[in-house]
Amino acid sequence: MSAIKPRDAASLVLLRDTSGVTEVLMGRRHSRHAFIPDAFVFPGGKLDADDRRVTTAQSASSTATPATQALEAAAIRETFEETGLLLACPGDIGTAAEGTWGEFRSRGLVPDAKHLRLLARAITPAESPIRFHARFFTAHNAPVTGEIKGSGELLDLAWYPLDHAKTLPVIDVTEFVLKEISERTDNRTLKGPVAFWRYRSGTPILSYEA
């Protein structure tokens, strides 16, 4: 039997500095969740068709491809849906108008990707019945608005000091992303190439991409 093709997905790793301590937004997947139940994760989920039709705000120096922009939009949408926190700015969202994107349109907002940096990507093992090709975008001290109000998908949703977050029950991919953040955070800037985590015959493999 051939391996299941991974679905595109994106997570937003929100970071903030409070009294000299870096905190990260995380929540615990519900025990009934089909994918990694009971583990602490970053907000995120699969790429939806409308994410490809959304206009995102980009920095003038951005070289993001349409595919990357769609993943950025997905990360921002999923974060809003799961946490109530919104990373957006005024603009015309374009033709996508269903569900969450309809709410963006009604508010005259577009997802604000200017603050996002692609830190890492990871592919679920071939033997897994549910597979994702996940991209992890960071946003450090980004101008998010709203109050944390979980949708029920993430429990114990809160800002955790980075050192404490590394002690939470997480899967290996989340642990790897937290380690990358810890090693790279420097004056509120996450530097370095994109980390790539995948598996070969069940063994994790880590490499870096320019």
What are phi and psi for residue 111, nearest 5 degrees?
Answer: -60, 130
* Per-residue model confidence (pLDDT) at position 187: 59
pTM (two decimals):
0.93
Encode the chain (210 residues) as per-residue pLDDT tens digits.
566 889 999 999 999 999 989 999 999 987 665 556 689 999 999 999 999 999 999 988 888 999 999 999 999 999 999 999 999 999 999 876 679 999 999 999 999 999 999 999 999 998 888 899 999 999 999 999 999 987 778 999 999 999 999 999 999 999 999 999 999 886 566 788 999 999 998 899 999 997
- Convert 132-155 to b/e letters by CB count within 10 Å (16 or more is b): bbbbbbbbbebebeeeeebeebbe
